[in-house]
Amino acid sequence: MAISAKQVAELRKKTGAGMMDCKKALVESDGDITKAEEYLQKKNLAAIGKRAGRVAAEGVVGSYIHNGRIGVLVEINSETDFVARNEDFVRLAKDVAMHIAASAPEYVEESEIPGDLVAKKREIFLAQMEDANKPANIMERIIDGKIKKWKSEICLLDQKFIRDTDKTVNQLVIDVASVVKENIRIRRFTRFELGEGIEKATQDFAAEVAAATQV
């Protein structure tokens, strides 16, 4: 079927994919925008999987400071310095740094969480439910669910992106990687909060950042 320039432009605006990729997706989906978007998502995920083994040693160190009270440095890697200067890549670094300031993750991804910490957390959840009076298999599933939720709250890639809670930070990275056609990796970050560790009257600066960054 004939695909109009308007349809291609609409799909490109929604996905950020290239014009020819959008046209092919629409042809494969008989002009259905929703199906074409799904087609591109599947294609992008497959392409990103193939690129995952490539060395990404270029990139940028993104930064964000909120009212002089919270500061973040985050290293995001790309395969080439050309992509590191790309507008979408630079915006990604800024957005991720701002997200870290607001959401205070503890790790980049689940594999970084120490095993003894996971075991300790499981013990805590089990103790909290000792009076639940549920069968052992049901209890185990409940604890597993709590552990999964806890991990998603402390791992950067699994957190809901503050500016679009319909996607995770990992999905944000995937979206940009699909546009620049390179492997992108958030390698590490450091977050500073003024007076952290010093006993004082508490203020929820992270909540303040989150409110300020909503659009």
Read off the CATH number of the domain in which 101 is found: 3.30.479.20
pLDDT for 82-131, tens place per residue?
A: 988 999 999 999 999 999 999 999 999 999 999 999 999 999 998 888 77
Both 201 and 96 in one domain: the answer is yes
**pLDDT higher than 80, residue 153:** yes
Give, in order, the Cα–Cα distances in Å from 207 to each of 97, 135, 154, 172, 202.
15, 39, 16, 21, 12
Residues 70 and 144 occupy one common structural domain:
no
The whole-angstrom separation of Cα 108 and Cα 168 is 12
| 114 DSSP 8-state letter | -
How far is 154 from 169, CA to CA, in rounded Å?
Answer: 12
Contact 33, 10 (CB under 8 A): yes
Token pair for 211: 């409110």
As a dihedral over the C-alpha atoms of residue 135, residue 137, residue 142, residue 144, rounded to 10 degrees, the angle is 150
Residue 156 identity = L
167 with 101, same domain?
Answer: yes
Enclosing domain of residue 30: 5-51
Locate 156 and state its tokens.
């950067």
Domain with residue 10: its CATH number is 1.10.8.10
Residue 187: per-residue pLDDT? 94
State the total domains in the chain. Answer: 3
Q: Give strand pairing partners of 64.
A: 72
pLDDT at 214: 66
Average pLDDT over residues 180-203: 83
pLDDT tens digits along 31-90: 888 888 887 776 665 455 555 566 577 999 999 999 999 999 999 999 888 988 999 999
| Pair 127, 91 in one domain | no
The reply to whether 20 and 89 lie within a common domain is no
Q: Is residue 9 part of a domain?
A: yes
Say if residue 91 is in the same domain as residue 185. Answer: yes
Looking at the structure, tell me whether residues 69 and 139 fall in a common domain.
Answer: no
Instruction: Check whether 194 has a pLDDT greater than 70.
Output: yes
Whether residue 198 lies inside any domain: the answer is yes
**Same domain (yes/no): 47, 62:** no
Per the CB < 8 A criterion, the answer to whether 89 and 180 are in contact is yes
Q: Please check whether residue 14 lies inside any domain of the structure.
A: yes
Q: Which of 32, 51, 70 marks a domain boundary?
A: 51
Q: What confidence score (pLDDT) does residue 6 get?
A: 86
- The answer to whether residue 158 sits within a structural domain is no
Higher local confidence (pLDDT), 151 or 200? 151
